[in-house]
């Protein structure tokens, strides 16, 4: 049989295939890079032989539509879909880390805290899918990806909605992709109703499958194992699972009960929603000291968080007053450029020569001039052309952009990795806020460039506070390693409780307009008394970016949806405007990310 030609080097959706990552029954996934901006992606290509089946192609397209409909931070992002020379493809975010399957193959059993952390995120993502009428139907450890993220251990991305099915009012003829009696899924994780292949599946089928995964994480094996697939299917339908606590006696009683309820044969006896499952496993006492009830432990942790936040904030304010808090300064080259821009006797050619002294800055100026922030019919090739297109205010914007990126390119890998997520989110907020400002009508409208900077800087205090916590953690570990450091939830509350004051101080130190400082302070709520303000625009853009999945932390989707709805009403925005903002947002953010810079031509002499 003749070997099919290699696809390595071919371009799909603007990305050149570099190497094969994995291959499955439906298609092959490749690591790919954008040949111009260097952005990395995973490209999934449907096998030509299976593409002959219209149902399979429809299922392949359903995956892209399903993921785009969900828009949740714990669901892998799909940025493009298409057909090239007869090959169907999907372009997805490239993920670094390992699957839950690979983790279990290595570690076999996870501790309760890790298992709960993973399942909570999976349940959150699937809850969002279920709210949109989408059932995954193929939950298994291989479809749960754990990102390498230092500040969010085991950050989850749910993969492969390839056999997802729409339910209820959202169902369409194209969504019924399997013939009657056909079993779809992975036998070890399938619900009894999936195994019977009769009737419609609803969200409770995913709840069962997630219960199987949680069982496996905590005891090291799935509840039903047999020599044949048929025996496994029969066991799901007829046999009671061995209670996980009998295999792992250290398992908490509450978690044991939650797993068994998720594994009920009758869907009506399971949890009614992923939210209910999450609540049940989060109530399971996790490392609660003897003598403390769950309620007492939760209250103690909340008091601990409040105490630490208050104390840290006091320390920050005291250091700010004494000018002893280490806040990154604007790089000297940026300060010089801003000084030159404020001199009416200087030309863009002089500014271009100064920018050209710093290759990193020169690269970023060229990239920004050719980005969505400064659209043009043709690409600029020299620094002088870039500065002419951007103008004085635009270049100042680029200089602050550069300064912010430089300020948090920490030597500490944990801070660097954390900042990558903050940076992507901040760019999204900046772009959306700027576009909102440009679409408003009336008098006394905010300056779009200023609003862009406010969005860019709204989370700038997070890496500073994170660095302070890391330093404290290092000192404690050095002196008395047996002392436990604050929990992840407390860490998050500390950062969220103090970073805005630090960001405000940085904006003032960099001599940025007062409206930017106000926007940093007010980015989490609206001020109805001044509808068209920097702060309100950034607040809406911040919520909108989170709603679109451009955020690396935990998200309360109900709260975010409410903030977006309130912002639309406050600013009088139509659904059409919000839809326009959504279109191509991932691509616009991607053009601004710090990846591979273009070749730099020397400035004109």
Q: Return the closest-CA partner of residue 208 out of 258, 133, 156.
A: 258
Please identify every residue annotated as catalytic: 138
DSSP 324: -
Tokens 């271009």 locate to 352
DSSP 223: S
CATH 3.90.79.10 fits 97-283, yes or no: no
3-state secondary structure of 520: helix
How is domain 332-592 classified at the CATH fold level? Hypothetical protein af1432 (1.10.3210)
Per domain, the residue ranges of the chain are 11-93, 97-283, 332-592
- Which DSSP helix (H) or strand (E) runs through 41? strand 40-46
Q: What is the pLDDT of residue 308?
A: 64
- In sequence order, the 6+-apart residues with CB closer than 8 A to the CB of 159 are 76, 99, 143, 144, 145
DSSP 240: P
- In sequence order, the 6+-apart residues with CB closer than 8 A to the CB of 366 are 380, 383, 386, 597, 598, 600
The list of the chain residues with pLDDT below 50 reads 1, 166-183, 286-290, 292, 294, 478-484, 594-605
Q: Report the C-alpha gap between 109 and 318 in whole angstroms.
A: 46
Q: Report the C-alpha gap between 4 and 15 in whole angstroms.
A: 21
* 276 and 211 Cβ atoms separated by less than 8 Å: no
How many Cβ atoms sit within 10 Å of the Cβ of residue 370? 22
Buried b (16+ CB within 10 A) or exposed e, 246-285: eebeebbebbbebbbbbbbbebeebbebbebbbebbbebb
* 466 and 415 Cβ atoms separated by less than 8 Å: yes
Domains 11-93 and 97-283 share a fold: no
* 535 and 527 Cβ atoms separated by less than 8 Å: yes
User: DSSP H helical segments within 171-329, as ranges?
Assistant: 192-196, 203-219, 229-238, 244-247, 253-262, 274-283, 294-321
Q: Report the C-alpha gap between 76 and 145 in whole angstroms.
A: 9
DSSP 292: -
Torsion of Cα atoms, 227 then 233 then 239 then 241, to 10°: 80
**CATH class as words, domain 11-93:** alpha beta
Taking the complete model, does pTM exceed 0.75, yes or no?
Answer: no
Q: What is the pLDDT of residue 201?
A: 84
Dihedral sign, Cα of residue 417, residue 423, residue 425, residue 426: positive
**Neighbouring-strand partners of residue 43:** 30, 91
- In sequence order, the 6+-apart residues with CB closer than 8 A to the CB of 182 are 197
- Which DSSP helix (H) or strand (E) runs through 22? strand 15-23
Q: What is the pLDDT of residue 287?
A: 45
* Backbone angles phi and psi of 590, in degrees to 5: -60, -35
Q: Return the closest-CA partner of residue 315 out of 163, 202, 469, 422.
A: 469
User: DSSP H helical segments within 322-410, as ranges?
Assistant: 332-341, 348-355, 359-369, 383-407
């Amino acid at each position: 049989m003749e070997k099919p030609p290699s696809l390595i080097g071919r371009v799909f959706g603007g990305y050149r295939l570099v190497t094969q990552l994995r291959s499955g029954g439906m298609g092959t996934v490749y690591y790919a890079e954008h040949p111009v901006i260097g952005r990395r992606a995973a490209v999934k290509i449907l096998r030509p032989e299976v593409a002959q089946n219209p149902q399979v192609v429809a299922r392949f397209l359903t995956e892209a539509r399903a993921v785009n409909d969900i828009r949740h931070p714990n669901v892998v992002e799909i940025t493009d879909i298409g057909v090239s020379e007869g090959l169907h493809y999907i372009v997805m975010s490239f993920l670094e880390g390992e699957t839950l399957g690979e983790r279990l193959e290595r570690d076999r059993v996870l501790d309760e805290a890790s298992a709960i952390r993973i399942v909570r995120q999976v349940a959150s993502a699937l809850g969002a899918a279920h709210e949109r009428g989408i059932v995954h139907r193929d939950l298994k450890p291989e479809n749960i990806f754990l990102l390498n993220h230092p500040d969010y251990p085991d950050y989850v991305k749910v993969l492969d909605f390839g056999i997802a099915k729409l339910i209820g009012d959202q169902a369409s003829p194209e969504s019924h992709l399997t013939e009657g009696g056909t079993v779809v899924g992975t036998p070890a994780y399938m619900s009894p109703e999936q195994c019977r292949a009769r009737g419609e599946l609803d969200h409770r089928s995913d709840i069962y499958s997630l219960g199987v995964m949680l069982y496996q994480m905590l005891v090291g094996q799935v509840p039903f194992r047999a020599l044949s697939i048929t025996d496994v299917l029969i066991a799901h339908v007829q046999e009671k699972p061995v209670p996980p606590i009998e295999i792992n006696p250290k398992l908490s009683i509450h978690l044991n009960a939650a797993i068994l309820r998720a594994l009920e044969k009758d869907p009506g006896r399971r949890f009614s929603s992923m939210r209910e499952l999450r609540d049940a496993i989060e109530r399971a006492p996790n490392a609660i000291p003897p003598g403390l009830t769950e309620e007492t432990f939760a209250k103690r942790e909340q008091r601990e968080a409040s105490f630490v936040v208050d104390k840290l904030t006091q320390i920050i304010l005291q250091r700010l007053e004494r000018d002893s808090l280490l806040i990154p300064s604007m790089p000297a080259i940026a300060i010089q450029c801003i000084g030159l821009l404020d001199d009416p006797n200087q030309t863009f050619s002089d500014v271009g020569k100064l920018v050209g002294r710093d290759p990193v800055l020169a690269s970023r100026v060229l990239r920004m001039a050719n980005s969505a922030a400064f659209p043009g019919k043709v690409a600029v090739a020299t620094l002088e052309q870039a500065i002419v297109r951007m103008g004085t205010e635009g270049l100042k914007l680029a200089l602050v952009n550069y300064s912010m990126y430089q300020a948090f390119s920490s030597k500490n890998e944990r801070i660097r990795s954390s900042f990558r997520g903050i940076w992507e989110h901040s760019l999204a907020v900046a772009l959306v806020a700027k576009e909102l400002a440009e679409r408003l009508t009336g008098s006394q409208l905010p300056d779009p460039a200023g609003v862009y900077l406010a969005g860019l800087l709204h989370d700038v205090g997070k890496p500073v506070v994170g660095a302070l916590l890391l330093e404290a953690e290092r000192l404690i570990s050095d002196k008395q390693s047996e002392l436990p450091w604050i929990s992840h939830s407390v860490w998050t509350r500390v950062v969220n409780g103090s970073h805005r004051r630090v960001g405000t101080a940085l904006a003032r130190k960099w001599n940025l307009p007062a409206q930017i400082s106000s926007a940093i302070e007010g980015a989490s709520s609206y001020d109805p008394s001044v509808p068209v303000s920097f702060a309100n625009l950034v607040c809406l853009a911040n919520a909108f970016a989170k709603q679109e999945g451009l955020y690396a932390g935990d998200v309360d989707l109900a709260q975010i949806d409410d903030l977006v709805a309130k912002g639309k009403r406050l600013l009088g925005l139509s659904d059409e405007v919000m839809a326009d903002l959504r279109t191509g947002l991932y691509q616009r953010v991607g053009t601004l990310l710090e990846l591979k810079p273009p070749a730099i031509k020397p400035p004109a002499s």
